Amino acid sequence: MAAIEKVRLEGRTLGDIFKENFLRRIADTGENIFPISVAFVREFEKEGKSHASLITFSHQNNDEVKNKILHVESEDPELLELFLKIIEREQNVTGSKSES
């Protein structure tokens, strides 16, 4: 069985990473609704067989949302590294770097 790779990001929320119009539209409703979990699947072929890798982003409680603590989990270390690079690049492009 594969081990799950896990990273805890501080200073980021899902809302910081996934800046899309739908998040603004949800906020515009006046309701207290925010993302707490998102998952992506990478499909690939290996040795002629179809495979899939899952990566999840989540806040485990309301305090983690308030304190900008984000958990990123995947059994695939390459997929985890890919998403961490994308997140880092996005933070550098937008100019909103996390406080360490």
Mean pLDDT along residues 18-44: 85
* Sign of the torsion formed by the C-alpha atoms of 65, 68, 69 and 72: positive
Q: Which of 32, 30, 34 is nearest to 19 (CA)?
A: 34
Domain extents in the chain:
5-93
Reply yes or no on whether the pLDDT at 71 is more than 90.
Answer: yes
Provide the whole-model pTM. Answer: 0.67
Tens digits of per-residue pLDDT, 74-90?
999 999 999 999 988 87
Tens digits of per-residue pLDDT, 7-16?
888 888 776 7
For a pLDDT cut of 70, what percent of the chain falls above it? 87
Q: Give the pLDDT confidence score for residue 1 in this predicted structure.
A: 62
Q: Which amino acid is at 36?
A: I
